Amino acid sequence: MCSVVKGAKPVQQALAFTLHLRTKTAAWSCAATRSRVLYPGVHTSSRPYCSRMALGERLLFRQLFESASSTYTYLLADTQTKEAIIIDPVLETLDRDLKLVDELGVRLKLAVNTHCHADHITSTGLMKKRLPGLKSAISKFSGASADVHLSDGDKINFGKHHLSVRETPGHTDGCVTLVMGDQSMAFTGDALLIRGCGRTDFQQGCSKRLYESVHQRIFTLPDHCLIYPAHDYKGQMVSTVGEERRFNPRLTKSLEEFVEIMENLNLPKPAKIDIAVPANLVCGVHEV
Ligand SMILES: N[C@@H](CCC(=O)N[C@@H](CSS)C(=O)NCC(=O)O)C(=O)O
Ligand SMILES: [Fe+2]
């Protein structure tokens, strides 16, 4: 049964985190061909863990990409019970994602958004219509409607696996990072991007809060913990906590320098912000 267990205490969480050193050979896929198609001129084949398909016993893991908004969607499932969850699915790739779910024979139980996205419309609302029984989830601080409102410490169970919810506000009030139970991987949404981070100039953004979120709630994970963000604009697919702690050009700086950097990004606003935010506040579909 896939479920969200509310309000696990930090001590309980810590006990649940049994660091599982994986000695078995994981299944890998060849990243080179796909990378060349998706990102001409960008060579990612030197980082084979980018296309890691299974991290260990009974875990199915897929990283999917939506090219118009450069969004990553993640599918995770227990290969024995077939219970699955999807993170940050995009409207434009709904059919692709549902086809994959069908082909892999997994049962999607929960569609989670890491935050109320400003650049694309989520497919969670339409996905629920196509898959009766599917529930949606988003942070209680997002202001968005969903079947489940997530809080810090909640556990999202799927089969024998779970993701722990860590609130990581700053890009928006309702940003969460989802951490695998064994802390082997973290889905950081737009809080922490690879060698970057989410902007803080709209949707209640606050650079000081984001800095504290990343340092206190993400950089405290083990160095080997894989970082899977919601976006990448340079063809990068995965990083680690250790890498970002050492090489992130924004978050290796002092708080004061970070705030200064964020105040001077001068990014154009996302092209779809005026339609995406209102739509995402109602799960991606306006009720008629
Ligand atoms: N050009 C894109 C929007 C790009 C953008 O603003 N990305 C966001 C994440 S989506 S809310 C961001 O935080 N970027 C940080 C950065 O440093 O790039 C569009 O028009 O959609
Ligand atoms: Fe965002």
In the chain, how many domains are there? 1
Residue at 269 is within a domain: no
128 alpha carbon – ligand 2 mean position (Å): 22
Residue at 245 is within a domain: yes
221 alpha carbon – ligand 2 mean position (Å): 22
Ligand nearest to the CA of 69: 1
149 alpha carbon – ligand 2 mean position (Å): 18
Locate the ligand 1 atom nearest the alpha carbon of residue 193 and give its number.
15
- Whether the pLDDT of residue 55 is over 70: the answer is no
Query: CA-to-CA distance for 64 and 75, rounded, in angstroms?
Result: 8
Query: CA-to-CA distance for 118 and 63, rounded, in angstroms?
Result: 21
Residue at 270 is within a domain: no
CA distances from 225 to 9, 13, 21, 188, 262 (A): 22, 17, 12, 11, 26
The 10 Å Cβ neighbour count of residue 145 is: 14
- Whether the pLDDT of residue 44 is over 50: the answer is no
Residue at 127 is within a domain: yes
Residues 253-267, mean pLDDT to the nearest whole number: 98
What is the H or E stretch that residue 97 is in? helix 94-104
Determine the residue type at 202.
F
- Residue whose CA is at the smallest distance from ligand 1 atom 10: 119
The 10 Å Cβ neighbour count of residue 32 is: 14
- The neighbouring-strand residues paired with 179 are 164, 186
What domain range is 82 assigned to? 3-17+26-264
The pTM (predicted TM-score) of the whole model is: 0.86
Query: CA-to-CA distance for 172 and 115, rounded, in angstroms?
Result: 7
Mean pLDDT of the chain: 86
Model pLDDT, residue 8: 62
Residue at 115 is within a domain: yes
Confidence of residue 120 (pLDDT cuts 50, 70, 90): very high
Burial class (CB in 10 A: 0-12, 13-18, 19+), 67: exposed
The pLDDT > 70 percentage for the chain reads 81
Residue at 288 is within a domain: no
Confidence of residue 2 (pLDDT cuts 50, 70, 90): low
Model pLDDT, residue 22: 28
Q: Would you say the CB of residue 270 lies under 6 angstroms from ligand 1?
A: yes
Contacts 24+ apart (CB under 8 A), 144-150: 144/113, 144/116, 144/174, 144/280, 144/281, 144/282, 144/283, 145/281, 145/282, 145/283, 146/113, 146/283, 148/4, 148/110, 150/4, 150/112, 150/176
Residue at 281 is within a domain: no
- Residue whose CA is at the smallest distance from ligand 1 atom 4: 270
What pLDDT digit, counting tens, does each position of 24-33 carry? Answer: 223 233 333 4
- Residue whose CA is at the smallest distance from ligand 1 atom 2: 270
Model pLDDT, residue 7: 81
Q: What is the CATH number of the domain that holds 76?
A: 3.60.15.10
